[in-house]
C-alpha cells in the first residue's frame, strides 16, 4: 500500500486527546501545536470541557497555575474554533462514516469534513472509517522534517 501524502498545506482539525497530551506533557505534540506552523482548528466545545476539568488537568500536568493558564491561552489563540453550526451541518455524515462506533469522535470528524481538513488524532481506528485524511503526531513529525 502506498502512503498518502499528508495534506499539510490546508487546515488540520486537532482532536481532544492531542490537545490533552499537549496540556499534560511538554513534548513533541506541544511543540507541534505551538511552533509547527500548521493551520489548526478544533470544535469550540473542547475549551469548555477543559475549563470544566481544569483542576484535574492542572494537577495531572504538574504545572503551576500561571504556566498552565499561559499554555491554555496560547493554544486557544493558535487554534481556530470551528463553529458549532458548521459542525452540526456535517454530524450526520460523520456519524454515518463512524458507523455509530464512537460518537465522541463525531464532532472532530464533522469539523474536518466541514473544513476539508485532515484530522490529527492518535486514534488508529479512525484511519479506517473517517471520510477525511487522518494523521498521527509521528506522521506530522516526519512530514515536517522534525527530528
H or E stretch covering 116:
none
* Cell 506533557 sits on residue: 25
| pLDDT at res. 1 | 33
Say yes or no: domain 11-144 is CATH 3.40.50.1010. Answer: yes
All structural domains of the chain with their residue ranges: 11-144
| pLDDT at res. 147 | 64
Q: Is 122 exposed, middle or buried (0-12, 13-18, 19+ CB in 10 A)?
A: middle
| pLDDT at res. 8 | 66
Distance (Å, rounded) from C-alpha 71 to C-alpha 2? 38
Q: What is the pLDDT of residues 84-130, one digit of tens each?
A: 999 999 999 999 988 876 578 999 999 999 999 999 999 988 888 88
| pLDDT at res. 39 | 96
Q: What is the pLDDT of residues 52-83, one digit of tens each?
A: 999 999 999 999 999 999 999 999 999 999 99
Amino acid at each position: 500500500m502506498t502512503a498518502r501524502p499528508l495534506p499539510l498545506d490546508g487546515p488540520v482539525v486537532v482532536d481532544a486527546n492531542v490537545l490533552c497530551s499537549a496540556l499534560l506533557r511538554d513534548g513533541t505534540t506541544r511543540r507541534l501545536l505551538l511552533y509547527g506552523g500548521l493551520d489548526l482548528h478544533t470544535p469550540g466545545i473542547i475549551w469548555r470541557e477543559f475549563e470544566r476539568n481544569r483542576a484535574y488537568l492542572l494537577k495531572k500536568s504538574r504545572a503551576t497555575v500561571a504556566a498552565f493558564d499561559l499554555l491554555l491561552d496560547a493554544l486557544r489563540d493558535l487554534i481556530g474554533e470551528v463553529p458549532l453550526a458548521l459542525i452540526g451541518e456535517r454530524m450526520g455524515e460523520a456519524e454515518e462514516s463512524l458507523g455509530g462506533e464512537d460518537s465522541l469522535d463525531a464532532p472532530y470528524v464533522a469539523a474536518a469534513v466541514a473544513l476539508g481538513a485532515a484530522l490529527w488524532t492518535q486514534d488508529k481506528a479512525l484511519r479506517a472509517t473517517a471520510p477525511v485524511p487522518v494523521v498521527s503526531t509521528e506522521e506530522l513529525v516526519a512530514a515536517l522534517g522534525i527530528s
